[in-house]
């Protein structure tokens, strides 16, 4: 198993380019199953989850080609060879469930193993299944698999009990080829959903209202191929913003949609970080600044993202004064607290809130990545800690960050990726 060795960092400085968004490219790749025509996707990040989704599409019968840069994919699914997604692939990545809607819409049937992914809390797929049933599908769960069949899908008005991102995406894709109109109420509003809707509309779908809590989809008989550029990754953006703050550095972050990181910008401004939104990108500077504590409460978009909570918590352990972080999205998203406490953070958890005394001089230690974003937090904490930090189980990090070590080294960080055998 590979690991990162992180030494205390000098103030990071320079420029960094943000990659395409993991949480946008995966549903877009799944949506390519909706047509027999070729779909061309640009700014594809080099991630393990992308590799898993590619393998899944190829298993279904798609041909997936990439160029020399790896940032462009050409997906052709002339004929779907199988509608079953095997356990071995699906359990590697929760987003595999996003193939269910496209398969059901295009072929009328699907059989997919129950998904895996980070163990950050309950993320039930009942909202996906309820929506499919309301569109006329019959659903069975047996022996760890979900089986869905629908000779004809019909539009419906579907209310989501929670604004689930995955359910919103899956139901939009399924409804794109359903007969009649579908309305999703209490839909998720994330930028990645807007990106998916834009791609589907380029394919000939009729999706309106993405980015609001009511999305309307007028079903069409068929979809065609399209070309699309994936939006920048807002969580990678936020992670490098925190890196500038925690190392007292100065970073120009390129390929950014600043509107997508408004909550992160707001909280870092409260901490006293200097941020400029210019034509060349987002300049984030904390050099020669005494940073301040702040309180955070995670919420669905456009609230503060749960995927940035661990990284901000790492920063707040180092600023003078107490902070409180309240997690409302995933009940198990404090697993990184024990790892930060190994480094001297002294964080206390009560229910869904974590009290951070702040002002701690973190010490390097052996820590593990308990999930994707927690892993990023461990790397950031290692940059602020005295001595050497060994971050293990970094396969979590590599599911969601493209060339993280290389990008940090280009800014002056001391971080090395090694294999245990080295």
What lies within 8 Å, CB to CB, of 372 at 6+ separation is 118, 396, 397, 399, 400
- SS3 state at 93: coil
What's this model's pTM, rounded to 2 decimal places? 0.94
What does the pLDDT read at residue 247? Answer: 98
Catalytic residues: 118
Both structure tokens of 233: 């990754």
What does the pLDDT profile of the chain (422 residues) look like in tens digits?
899 999 999 999 999 999 999 999 999 999 999 999 999 999 999 998 999 999 999 999 999 999 988 899 999 999 999 999 888 888 777 788 899 999 999 999 999 887 654 343 344 688 999 999 999 999 998 878 889 999 999 999 999 999 999 999 999 999 999 999 999 999 999 999 999 999 999 999 999 999 999 999 999 999 999 999 999 999 999 999 999 999 999 999 999 999 999 999 999 999 999 999 999 999 999 998 899 999 999 999 999 999 999 999 999 999 999 999 999 987 777 999 999 999 999 999 999 999 999 999 999 999 999 999 999 999 999 999 999 999 999 999 998 899 999 999 999 999 999 986 65
What does the pLDDT read at residue 118? Answer: 39
Fold of 22-229: UDP-n-acetylglucosamine1-carboxyvinyl-transferase; Chain (3.65.10)
- Bridge partners (DSSP) of residue 154 are 179
Q: In what order do the strands lie in the sheet with 415-419?
A: 366-368, 388-392, 2-7, 415-419
Spans of all domains in the chain: 2-19+232-419, 22-229
> What is the DSSP code string of 369-413?
-SSHHHHHHHHHHHHHSBSEEEEE-THHHHTT-SSHHHHHHHTT-
What does the pLDDT read at residue 262? Answer: 98
Do the domains spanning 2-19+232-419 and 22-229 agree at the CATH topology level? yes
Q: Just give the CATH number of 2-19+232-419.
A: 3.65.10.10
Separation CA 420–CA 395 (nearest Å) = 13
By CB atoms closer than 10 A (0-12, 13-18, 19+), residue 361 is: exposed
Separation CA 294–CA 315 (nearest Å) = 10
Largest CA distance in the chain: 65
What does the pLDDT read at residue 115? Answer: 67
What does the pLDDT read at residue 123? Answer: 47
What lies within 8 Å, CB to CB, of 92 at 6+ separation is 52, 116
Separation CA 131–CA 136 (nearest Å) = 9
């Amino acid at each position: 198993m590979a690991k990162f060795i992180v030494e205390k960092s000098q103030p990071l400085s320079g420029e960094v380019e943000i990659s395409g968004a993991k949480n946008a490219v995966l549903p877009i790749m799944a949506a390519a199953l909706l047509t027999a025509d070729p779909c061309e996707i640009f700014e594809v990040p080099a991630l393990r989850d992308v590799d898993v989704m590619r393998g899944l599409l190829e298993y279904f019968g798609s041909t997936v080609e990439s160029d020399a840069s790896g940032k462009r994919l050409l997906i052709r699914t002339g004929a779907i060879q199988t509608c079953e997604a095997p356990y071995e692939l699906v359990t590697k990545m929760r987003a595999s469930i996003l193939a269910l809607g496209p398969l059901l819409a295009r072929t009328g049937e699907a059989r997919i193993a129950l998904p895996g992914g980070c163990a950050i809390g309950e993320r039930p797929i009942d909202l996906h299944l309820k929506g499919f049933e309301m569109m006329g599908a019959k659903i069975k769960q047996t022996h760890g698999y979900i089986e869905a069949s629908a000779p004809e899908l019909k539009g419906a008005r579907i209310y989501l009990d929670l604004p689930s991102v995955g359910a919103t995406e899956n139901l939009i894709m399924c409804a794109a080829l359903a007969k009649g109109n579908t309305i999703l109420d209490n839909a998720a509003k994330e930028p990645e959903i807007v990106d998916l809707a834009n791609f589907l509309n380029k394919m000939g779908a009729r999706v309106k209202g993405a980015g609001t809590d009511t999305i309307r989809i007028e079903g069409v008989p068929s979809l065609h191929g399209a070309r699309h550029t994936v939006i920048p990754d807002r969580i990678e953006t936020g992670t490098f913003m925190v890196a500038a703050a925690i190392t007292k550095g100065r970073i120009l972050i390129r390929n950014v949609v600043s509107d997508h990181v408004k909550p992160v910008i707001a909280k870092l401004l409260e901490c006293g970080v200097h941020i400029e939104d210019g034509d060349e990108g987002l300049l984030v500077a904390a050099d020669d600044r005494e940073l301040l504590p702040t309180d955070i409460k995670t919420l669905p978009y456009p609230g503060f993202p749960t995927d940035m909570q661990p990284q901000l918590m790492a920063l707040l352990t180092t600023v003078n004064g107490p902070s409180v972080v309240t997690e409302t999205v995933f009940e198990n998203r404090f697993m990184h607290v024990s790892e930060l406490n190994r480094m001297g953070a002294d964080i206390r958890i009560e229910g869904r809130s974590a009290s951070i005394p702040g002002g701690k001089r973190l010490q390097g230690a052996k820590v593990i990545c308990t999930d994707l974003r927690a892993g990023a937090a461990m790397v950031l904490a290692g940059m602020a800690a005295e001595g050497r930090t060994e971050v293990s189980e970094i396969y979590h990090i590599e599911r969601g960050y493209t060339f993280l070590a290389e990008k940090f080294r280009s800014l002056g960080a001391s971080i090395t990726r090694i294999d245990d055998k080295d």
